[in-house]
Structure 1
Amino acid sequence: MKKNMGTADRAIRIVIAIIVVTLYFTSVITGTTGIVLMALAAIFLITGFISFCPLYTPFGLNTCSRKK
């Protein structure tokens, strides 16, 4: 897997995931919505830590800074 996520993209995903997890465990988000958002938060954490988003590949997106 070739990295396709930049630092800002990774940080945003991780922060969003932490916010969703916090809201879930403080019972602000509950039920089916909570479960769906927790699954999305898990995906955000995984993709944030490995710097690769599979959905970027078919669209040719790459948020990594290009070094010359």
Structure 2
Amino acid sequence: MTKNIGSVDRRLRLVPAVVFFVAWAGGLLSGTLLWVLGIVAAVSLVTAITGWCGLYTLLGINTCPLESPKS
């Protein structure tokens, strides 16, 4: 898998994951909302860690900067 998520995008994907885990730990979420936001947070966290997003691949989006050739 070629990385297609840039560093800014990766940091932005960490935000919902952190917010979810803080809200979950604080007992602010329950029921269906807990599960839905948990899945969104988990996907955001995994894509941020791996640097690859399947949806970006399908849509042809790449926010990862091009690597400059080594001289």
Q: What is the TM-score with the length of structure 1 in the denominator?
A: 0.90
The equivalent of 2:48 in structure 1 is 48
The equivalent of 1:39 in structure 2 is 39
Q: Who wins on radius of gyration, i.e. which is larger?
A: 2
Q: Distance in 2 between matches of 1:48 and 1:26?
A: 24
Q: Distance in 1 between matches of 2:58 and 2:43?
A: 18
Runs (4+) off by over 6 Å: none
Q: Distance in 2 between matches of 1:47 and 1:4?
A: 10
What are structure 1's unaligned runs of at least 5 residues?
none
Within the alignment, does 1:30 sit opposite 2:30 as a pair? Answer: yes
Q: Distance in 1 between matches of 2:55 and 2:36?
A: 18
* Identity in percent: 37
Q: What is the TM-score with the length of structure 2 in the denominator?
A: 0.86
